A and B are shown apart, each in its own frame.
Chain A
Amino acid sequence: MKTQRRLVWGGVGLGVLVLACSLGPFLLADIGDGDPLHASLLPPLTRVTILELTDGRTLMSPEVTAEGGQYRVRGPSSTTSIPSVEVDAQTGARLWLGSDRFGRDVLRRLLKGGRVSLAVAALGVTIALVVGLFVGLAAATGGRVADAVLMRTVDALLAFPLLLLLILLSALFRPGPVVLIAVLGLSSWMGLARLVRGQVLSLRSRSFIQAARVAGTRWLRMWTLHYLPNLKAPVAQDTALQMGNLVLAEATLSFLGLGIPATLPSWGGMVAEGQRVMLDGWWLSVFPGLAITVLVISLALIGDGLQQNSKASA
């Protein structure tokens, strides 16, 4: 009963975020790159008028008036007058989460940043999943020497403070998104490898596995047909929690300026940017922080729910 509720809440949270990030940018009014002169640091829910000019520029301000064949666009520091003939189109939009220093829509950037965060975490966790499964299975079934070598390596890597390693690697290599994904994935498979090894070792004492081994089943068939299906539940649970950790790790690195390059929006980077002008606009750092929190909590709920599900069925 309660476990179902956790799974449902986690699934809803994750689903809403994924849907919003993948579809949101298409549904929102396109306000281009924003207007740093007239629309910087507008609070949430502000209604703005957007003027598209014939030369391709976009002007945006909450205060636009038309009088005597001229548009007057008022901003916090400057006012611009534009002859009506130069205005191509006039549209209105609401900035649900306000705008940043450069007059960009925070909600739009948040959704775009979410794509980056979700993609990095999902791909990173996929790498961790593949490596962890492989190492765990190899250690459990590959004989005593392989087991000792692999597990001591895992011990050594676990003794390394993960974030310190990530900071070191990112500071040294200045990675793009691809390297970041690889680094995140390759530094977080150890827990999974341990888990898989333990599970496989306990599976080996079960009679159906012993029967299969006595029958002379080949290793590939053993892995795909006997081990992997029985690992689904604990692995899925660990993967969900691990993905939450990766979201936090990526956000932390981007916050420190070592993760996603500043040219791409990312939640961690947005928090860092917002904290620099915290007194001028609380909304700049609050909303991306909330987004990270909701994503991590959703993943934790899914992990919890899966764990209790497998407990209940065991």
Chain B
Amino acid sequence: MKRIALRRLAALVPLVWLVATLTFVVVQAAPGSYADTIDNPRLSPETRDAIRAHYGLDRSAGEQYLSWLRAVVTGDLGTSFLYREPVTKVLSRALPPTLLLAGSGLLLTLVLGLALAMAAVRHPNGWSDRFITVLSLTLYGVPSFWLAGMLILIFSVSLGWFPASHMHSVNAARLSGIASLADLLHHLFLPAICLGLVGAAGTARYVRATLLDVQASRFMLAARARGIPNHRLLLVHALRPALLPVVTLLGLALPLLVSGSVVIETIFSWPGMGQVAFNAARARDIPLILGATLIGAAAVVLGNLVADILYAVVDPRARGEQ
């Protein structure tokens, strides 16, 4: 098992390289450069050329690519044009908020999704099942940016229960440890719910179907015949096999979660990777674009790897193969 994990880890490198190279090609093919996005009418064409030369944008694409690649191997992602700081510094500042938001979203996705699915299959086709089916279908179709707007309208504007944007209050620096944690959670609530609800809908739909399949199997009949109580039947016997596809699904949902964070971060002014990537793309900040996609792709590939390993943990049958 360890060897498999190591081999997969090694295969990760060319994949991430491929994604970064693809991004580089796309950025190079796009019209305009950072020098053109500086919004200053008094800038003469000569100055713009000088700026281009200063950032090394006057070199050929191949030269830029090779020098970037050489630097990346040594762990240097270059300097961001926009933030005038090393890319690694910008990204390491933006990564924790995103991990926090995406992690909470993932947790909510799992907990809510499983809870809804289990509540639904207790009485298949009963009123609670129907309600949950309709609810999860509705949430599945709701665009996350619209849901975010509605939640802000209801819970921030009308009721005033939760803040509508940012990660901390203005006076957060003066708060004590516990108070500042509470402040953070208070700000985290709405964006995390947005991410979690949309994800939970898909998970619930999926798990409900697999739980129903599992319940029809013979080992469930045998367990029921042994007189095992209903809740134990559901929580222990049915849930474990039903978790298998969920683990794979979570691996596949990771790109979605990363993408979803971009939108949610933009709406809630959450200072994370999504905002950085969005700003970088708009300013043609090549080193930052490349750095952000590199991290994003690595996160997704790593997530898939973790999902595969978890799969082997949950399912003893998968350990021997491959």
Q: Which residues of A contact B (CB under 8 A)?
A: 155-156, 158-164, 167-169, 171-173, 244, 248, 251-252, 255-256, 268, 271-272, 275, 278-279, 282, 285-286, 288-289, 292-297, 300-301
Contacts and interface: CB of A to CB of B under 8 A. Distances in A.
A252 B281 CA distance: 16
Given A160-B255, A296-B140, A278 B149 contact: yes
A12 to B, nearest CB: 15
Nearest to B263: A252
B141 interface: yes
A156 B16 CA distance: 8
B157 A296 contact: no
Contact of A172 (B143, B255, B281, B293): B281
Interface of B: 15-16, 18-19, 22-23, 26-27, 30-31, 137-138, 140-146, 149-150, 152-153, 157, 255-256, 258-260, 262-263, 266, 277-278, 281-282, 284, 289, 293, 296-297, 300-301, 304
Contact of B138 (A156, A164, A251, A293): A293
Given A159-B300, A168-B289, A297-B137, A289 B281 contact: no
Given A271-B149, A292-B141, A297-B137, A159 B293 contact: no
Given A160-B22, A248-B143, A292-B142, 7 more contacts: A159-B16, A159-B300, A159-B301, A160-B300, A167-B281, A286-B150, A293-B141
Contacts of B152: 278
Contacts of A244: 141
A9 to B, nearest CB: 10
Nearest to B16: A159
B146 A159 contact: no
A292 B138 CA distance: 11
Given A168-B23, A168-B281, A297-B138, A163 B149 contact: no
22 contacts: A156-B19, A159-B19, A159-B301, A163-B260, A167-B278, A168-B27, A169-B26, A173-B31, A251-B145, A252-B144, A255-B263, A256-B263, A271-B143, A271-B149, A286-B150, A292-B141, A292-B146, A293-B138, A296-B142, A297-B138, A300-B137, A301-B137
Contacts of B284: 172
Nearest to A156: B18
Contact of B296 (A155, A161, A285): A161
Contacts of A255: 143, 145, 263
Contacts of B293: 160, 164, 168
Secondary structure type dominating chain A contacts: helix
Given A292-B143, A297-B138, A300-B140, A161 B22 contact: no
B30 A285 contact: no
A289 B19 contact: no
Contacts of B260: 163
A289 B143 contact: yes
A278 B153 CA distance: 8
A161 B259 contact: yes
A302 to B, nearest CB: 12
Given A158-B255, A161-B259, A168 B26 contact: yes
A278 B157 contact: yes
A293 B300 CA distance: 27
Given A161-B258, A164-B262, A168-B289, A293 B145 contact: no
A163 B259 contact: yes
Contacts of B18: 156
Given A160-B19, A172-B284, A252 B289 contact: no
A171 B281 contact: yes
Contacts of A173: 30-31
Contacts of A285: 146, 149
A294 B141 contact: yes
A159 B304 contact: yes
B245 to A, nearest CB: 14
Contacts of A288: 146
Contact of A163 (B19, B31, B262, B300): B262
A48 to B, nearest CB: 26
Contact of B142 (A163, A275, A282, A289): A289
B31 A252 contact: no
Given A164-B258, A164-B262, A172 B137 contact: no
A304 to B, nearest CB: 9
B300 A161 contact: yes
A160 B26 CA distance: 13
A300 B137 CA distance: 8
A272 to B, nearest CB: 8
Contacts of B304: 159
Q: Shortest 7 CB-CB distances between A and B: which pairs? A: A163-B259, A172-B30, A289-B146, A296-B141, A297-B141, A171-B281, A161-B258
Given A167-B277, A271-B145, A292-B143, A162 B153 contact: no
